[in-house]
Amino acid sequence: MEERVLVSPDESLLRDILEEHAISPFGQGSITKPTHTSEWISPKTGNICRVQIRIENDRLVELVANVQGSALAKACASIMCATIQGGNLRATRSTLCDIKEWVESGKSPEEWVGDLRVYQSIVQYPERVDCAMLCWIALGKALRD
C-alpha cells in the first residue's frame, strides 16, 4: 500500500512558488557595467552563485544572480532578485540581516513578505539551508566589496 503524505495548502503554495522560480528564474544574465560583483561557492555542495549589481543613488537598479547548482538554489536566487531589485540599500541590508539571523539563530522575521514566504517552509528542512543561503552569501560579499 502506498503511503500518502499530506501537504497543507500553504505548503503546496510554497512549493509552487519555488517551482515557478526554478523553471522561470528572475535576475539572470549579465550587467554591462556592474558597480559590485562577487561569487560564492558552497564548500558543502559545490553550488556556485555569481552576483552582479549596479547601484545608483543608493538603489539596486540592476541585479543578477546566476547559479550553477540545485533547483532550490536557483529558485532562491530568483526570489532574492525579484524581491530586492529596485530597492534601496538600507532595505536590502535589512532583508539580508533578517535572512542571516534566521539561519544563525532560528529567529524568523515577524512576517516574510512576498515570495520570501518560502523561507518559512525551508526552515523545516535544515539540509536545504545551504542551497537557500547561496545567493544571500554572494550578495553580502558583493555589498562589502
CA neighbor of 135 nearest in space, from 54, 35, 25: 25
Residue-wise pLDDT for 85-138, tens only, equals: 999 999 999 999 988 888 777 777 777 778 888 877 777 788 888 999 999 999
**C-alpha dist (Å) from residue 13 to 19, 78, 99, 115, 118:** 10, 17, 21, 10, 9
Could you tell me if 136 and 99 are in contact, meaning their C-beta atoms sit under 8 angstroms apart? Answer: yes
Per-residue DSSP letters for 23-79? HS-SS-S--SS-SEEEEEE-TTT--EEEEEEEEETTEEEEEEEEEES-HHHHHHHHH
Residue-wise pLDDT for 25-81, tens only, equals: 889 999 999 999 999 999 999 999 999 999 999 999 999 999 999 999 999 999 999
Q: Is the pTM of this model over 0.75?
A: yes
**C-alpha dist (Å) from residue 97 to 38, 103, 137:** 18, 10, 11
Give me the domains of the chain, ranges plus CATH numbers. 25-144 (3.90.1010.10)
**C-alpha dist (Å) from residue 84 to 43, 76, 89, 92:** 26, 12, 9, 6
Residue appearing with cell numbers 503546496: 12
